[in-house]
Amino acid sequence: MKRFISLLALISLLLAPMAAQSLLTPEQLAKREKRKNLTVKEWNTDSKTNTRWLDRIKVYDEQGRCIEEIEYATYGQKWRVTSTYDDITGKVVEEVEYNDRNRPVRIRKYEWNANGTKAKQYNYLPNGKLYSVKVYEYIFEK
Looking at per-residue pLDDT, the higher value among 2 and 77 belongs to 77
Cα 39 to Cα 67: distance, rounded to the nearest angstrom: 10
Contact 99, 79 (CB under 8 A): yes
pLDDT value for 18: 43
Residue 141 belongs to a domain: no
- pLDDT tens-digit series, residues 19-52: 444 567 888 888 888 889 899 999 999 899 998 8
Q: How many domains, in total, are found in the chain?
A: 1
- Which CATH number belongs to the domain containing residue 39 in this structure? 2.40.128
Residue 72 belongs to a domain: yes
- pLDDT tens-digit series, residues 79-131: 999 999 998 888 999 999 999 999 999 999 999 999 989 999 999 999 999 99
Cα 64 to Cα 56: distance, rounded to the nearest angstrom: 18
Q: Region 62-77: what's the mean pLDDT? A: 93
Residue 140 belongs to a domain: no
Residue 117 belongs to a domain: yes
57 forms beta bridges with 41, 70
pLDDT value for 38: 93
Contact 60, 37 (CB under 8 A): yes
Residue 45 belongs to a domain: yes
pLDDT value for 109: 98
DSSP letter for each residue of 95-133? EEEE-TTS-EEEEEEEEE-TTS-EEEEEEE-TTS-EEEE
Contact 86, 74 (CB under 8 A): no
Domain, as residue range, for 24: 2-135
pLDDT value for 14: 42
Q: Residue 18: helix, strand or coil by DSSP?
A: helix
